[in-house]
């Protein structure tokens, strides 16, 4: 190949009459062309990159049960407003606001001096009534003996008989006053009626409570272990549940255990398991819904009343289904799909129909077979129709147990 200088010299000699500016442009173009040809001399085409590596796995084949989801709210199994049942000044508070208390724990005391004195007074009346009864009984016996000897009038015997019976009645009334006095004295101590969580105190020590016969609310205590979740169910869903649990519309909850699950807004899935324990006796005609209640353990007392809850109830018999990781399912204008690798290591797009998510997996209702190798990692490098280098792995079942999912 001629050098750049030789080409430029030929152009200058061959175009003596060409305008100077045009000749300069022609020379520069020739220089660039020659240098390009020189640079390409001896170069080789680059080797194609290797196929991208992806991880593939076959769908998990598990036994599942279709379910129905609802929304509801948590509620305390028992809720009591602690009130002052006697009048007096609030003396002391024995708990911290929001504390966990046990049944029988002392929570408040009301001034006791007055009620202790009333008890002593009632006990004194009992002693007096006993003395009167003894005296009347003795006199009655004496006059009854004299009457048999003709030394006393019958009217005197009758009078002391009445005095004895009256004294016995007075003693009974005095004993009743002792019971009332003891009861009023016990009301000066407000104790927890059950194990639960107490709210803040509503009255400070030194305030008069229970005045004029009014029951002053001192605090509120809730029993939250176990805890209720209330929700409503429509007529069609009720009948679906009845298909699996015969007698669902005839008070079955008292005889049949119907599993229920719930999760809070900050929880994945439905980690809490319990059972249905109550349903309204009739469907509301205007709405076509029925109020249902489920009961769940709450040993840690971390679920409080009034929280929003997602509830799940199994609706039909169990069946076999395929599950894949949720990140393996993509979505475009044509709908949901997964990428699979065929026996030639080529990527293929398959449209699928998914069910509900269970844990980190989705139920595949249609579009996959148990033998398909689904790309579960490396999706960004996988392009339909292109070759990949698949690495096979095995998916684990959901917690090693039967999966509850649905449509």
Indicate if 269 and 340 belong to the same structural domain: no
**Which pTM value belongs to this model?**
0.61
| pLDDT tens-place string over residues 127-152 | 999 999 999 999 889 888 888 888 88
Indicate if 309 and 255 belong to the same structural domain: yes
CA-wise closest residue to 319 among 270, 261, 262, 363: 363
| pLDDT tens-place string over residues 280-331 | 878 888 888 888 899 999 998 889 999 999 998 876 667 788 899 988 999 9
Q: What is the pLDDT of residue 53?
A: 92
- Cα angle, residue 145 at apex, residues 142 and 147 outer, rounded to 5°: 110
Whether 120 is covered by a domain: the verdict is yes
Whether 368 is covered by a domain: the verdict is yes
CA distance 31 to 27: 6
Query: What mean pLDDT comes out for the span 61-68?
Result: 78
Indicate if 215 and 114 belong to the same structural domain: yes
Residue 406's pLDDT band, with cuts at 50, 70 and 90, is: very low
Indicate if 98 and 216 belong to the same structural domain: yes
Whether 119 is covered by a domain: the verdict is yes
What average pLDDT does the chain have? 83
Whether 47 is covered by a domain: the verdict is no
Using the 3D structure, point to which of 297, 317, 337 is the last residue of a domain: 317
Asked if residue 75 lies in contact with residue 229, where contact means CB atoms within 8 angstroms, the answer is: yes
- Give the distance from CA 59 to its chain's centroid: 30
Indicate if 327 and 393 belong to the same structural domain: yes
State how many domains the chain has.
4
Indicate if 305 and 386 belong to the same structural domain: no
Query: What mean pLDDT comes out for the span 21-35?
Result: 55
Q: What is the pLDDT of residue 398?
A: 60
Indicate if 211 and 94 belong to the same structural domain: yes
Q: Which of 7-21, 137-151, 336-350 has the lowest average pLDDT?
A: 7-21
Indicate if 231 and 269 belong to the same structural domain: yes
Q: Could you give the angle at which helices 20-40 and 4-14 cross, rounded to 10 degrees? A: 150
Indicate if 132 and 210 belong to the same structural domain: yes
Q: Are strands 196-198 and 259-264 parallel, antiparallel or unpaired?
A: unpaired
Does residue 268 sit in helix, strand or coil? coil
Q: Quick check: 401 pLDDT over 50?
A: no
Range of the domain at 8: 4-40
Indicate if 162 and 228 belong to the same structural domain: no
> Token pair for residue 300?
């840690």
Question: How many other β-carbons are positioned within 10 Å of the β-carbon of residue 137?
Answer: 17
Asked if residue 243 lies in contact with residue 118, where contact means CB atoms within 8 angstroms, the answer is: no
Q: What is the CATH number of the domain that holds 248?
A: 2.40.30.170
| pLDDT tens-place string over residues 91-120 | 999 999 999 999 999 999 999 999 999 999
Indicate if 209 and 255 belong to the same structural domain: no
Whether 179 is covered by a domain: the verdict is yes
Q: What is the pLDDT of residue 28?
A: 57
Using the 3D structure, point to which of 205, 220, 235 is the last residue of a domain: 220
Q: What is the CATH number of the domain that holds 397?
A: 2.40.420.20
Q: Quick check: 240 pLDDT over 90?
A: no
> Token pair for residue 335?
């709908």
Q: What is the pLDDT of residue 148?
A: 85
CA distance 275 to 100: 25
Q: Quick check: 64 pLDDT over 80?
A: no
Q: What is the pLDDT of residue 55?
A: 92
Whether 296 is covered by a domain: the verdict is yes
Whether 45 is covered by a domain: the verdict is no
Using the 3D structure, point to which of 193, 220, 247 is the last residue of a domain: 220
């Amino acid at each position: 190949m001629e050098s750049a200088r030789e080409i430029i010299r030929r152009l200058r000699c061959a175009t003596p009459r060409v305008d100077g500016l045009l000749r300069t442009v022609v020379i520069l173009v020739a220089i660039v062309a020659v240098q390009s040809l020189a640079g390409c001399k001896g170069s080789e085409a680059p080797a194609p990159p290797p196929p991208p590596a992806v991880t593939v796995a076959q769908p998990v084949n598990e036994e599942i049960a279709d379910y129905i989801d609802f929304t509801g709210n948590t509620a305390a199994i028992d809720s009591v407003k602690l009130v002052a049942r006697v009048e007096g000044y609030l003396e002391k508070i024995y708990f911290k606001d929001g504390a966990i208390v046990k049944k029988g724990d002392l929570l408040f005391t009301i001034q006791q001096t007055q009620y202790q004195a009333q008890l002593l007074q009632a006990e004194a009346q009992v002693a007096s009534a006993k003395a009167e009864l003894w005296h009347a009984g003795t006199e009655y016996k004496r006059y009854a003996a004299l009457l048999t000897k003709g030394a006393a009038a019958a009217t005197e015997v009758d009078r002391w008989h009445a005095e004895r019976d009256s004294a016995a009645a007075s003693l009974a009334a005095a004993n009743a006053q002792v019971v009332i006095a003891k009861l009023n004295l016990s009301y000066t101590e407000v104790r927890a009626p059950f194990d639960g969580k107490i709210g803040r105190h509503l009255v400070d020590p030194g305030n008069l409570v229970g005045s004029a016969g009014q029951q002053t609310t001192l605090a509120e205590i809730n029993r939250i272990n176990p805890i209720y979740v209330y929700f409503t169910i429509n007529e069609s869903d009720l009948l679906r549940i009845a298909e699996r649990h015969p007698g669902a519309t005839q008070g079955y909850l008292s005889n049949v255990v119907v599993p229920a699950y719930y999760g809070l807004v900050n929880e994945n899935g439905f980690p809490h398991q319990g059972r249905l324990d109550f349903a309204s006796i009739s469907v509301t005609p205007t709405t076509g819904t029925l109020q249902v209640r489920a009961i769940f353990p709450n040993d840690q007392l971390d679920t409080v009343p009034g929280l929003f809850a997602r509830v799940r109830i199994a609706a039909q018999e169990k069946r076999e289904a395929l599950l894949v990781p949720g990140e393996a399912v993509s979505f475009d204008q044509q709908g949901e799909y997964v990428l699979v690798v065929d026996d030639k290591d080529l990527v293929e797009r398959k449209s699928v129909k998914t069910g509900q998510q269970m844990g980190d997996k989705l139920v595949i209702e249609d579009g996959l077979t148990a033998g398909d190798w689904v790309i579960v990692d490396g999706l960004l490098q996988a392009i339909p129709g292109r070759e990949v280098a698949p690495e096979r792995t095995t998916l684990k079942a959901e917690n090693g147990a039967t999966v509850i999912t649905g449509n």
